Structure 1
Amino acid sequence: MLVTFICQLMAFFLVVPVQVSAFYFYTNGGERKCFHKELSKNTLLQGTYKVQIYDDNLKSYKEADPKDLSVVVDVEEVFDDNQRVVHQKGAPNGDFTFVALDSGEHRVCFQPQASGWLSKVKTKVDIEFDIGSDAKLDSKKRDTLEALHQKVNILNSKILEIRREQQLMREREASFRDISESVNSRAMWWTIIQVFVLGITCVWQMKHLSTFFVKQKVL
């Protein structure tokens, strides 16, 4: 029983080699908050954050507008004289990805930044760290490429469908143009025939009237 339990425990840690931690903290007036992580070489660190601002009217925290507030994320190597390896400025809701180049202690810092009256506002920052191997990053890249490939295939199929519709519209337009030209041609010949018949009729009537007037000794 003990051996079976140990085998199951080892299998669990082999299948789930990722460490996930989620927490939140409060800041006031753009305070910079840092966290220390001990990372080994080629370890993947992924972070997801969400910043909310305190609303005095609601007496609670609400979503921040990206136009009013941004977040600066820094990752520094403490073991290498605090060398900064990541500096990212983004929206109140976002994420970042970092692969440790060397083993040692790393410092991850978050700093909400705002202007105007929001520069002194209270903020709540929700953070989730996901620590694993760089193979996970490659897997996610493959998943992203596959998703992009599927989107490209969908766009290609839509383009082909649009081209077929355009070809059908061109064929219909050509058919309509041929019918229109045929109708116009028939209408033109019909008009010519009508004018010709009208001219012959006028000539015959004039000749008939001339003969009538001669017989009546009018002319």
Structure 2
Amino acid sequence: MSILARAVLRPHLIAAVTLALALLATVVSAFTVRVAPHASTCFYEDLRIDQKTLVTFQVGEGGSLDVDFWVSDPNDAMLQLDHRVSQGTYQLIPSIAGKYTYCFSNQMSSISEKLVQFSVHGADVPPVDPKGTLCAPIVDPVMEIVNELARDIHSIKEEQQYIVTRERAHRNTAESTNARVMWWSLLQTAMLVAVCLFQIYYLKHFFEVRRVI
């Protein structure tokens, strides 16, 4: 390859690598939010037409581990509505550009706060070479590798998030069970002590000899 060809290709490689790093940095966004009783928490994404976006969520703490989930488009038309779900996945392929809304609702609960962990995939991914400034023979293989890495990262993060959420839920259950066992044991001990004191008092008065003056 000539020096001139290398000089021409080098900026394209730099741009392709920069785009790849941007994709890897923004392909997955993970969040944790607490939803108060009788409340809803909503988030917004500005999406382009056909910009595929995947929203996954899981309830880690609170009550029956369930929330209501819905997605609406820029015209406030309901695209998805799920009642009392513990986890879910929704793939959004916008037919119109604009602000899309997805919400987690805890309206059904009166006292329990819910901890919701969710991830958004693809919402911040920039368009590939919108002005045609990159060299297609170079960008295509790089983008293919980036997409494969993005899928792998997505899978790893989903698995990690699932394990962390399940571990937290099981830990909370174990701690709650241990606390109940402890309080029940203390109650049984207190009852046993009270019964023993009552028996001692009763036997003492039963065998007591009363003198008649």
TM-score by length of 2: 0.46
- Between structure 1 and structure 2, the one with the greater Rg is 1
TM-score by length of 1: 0.44
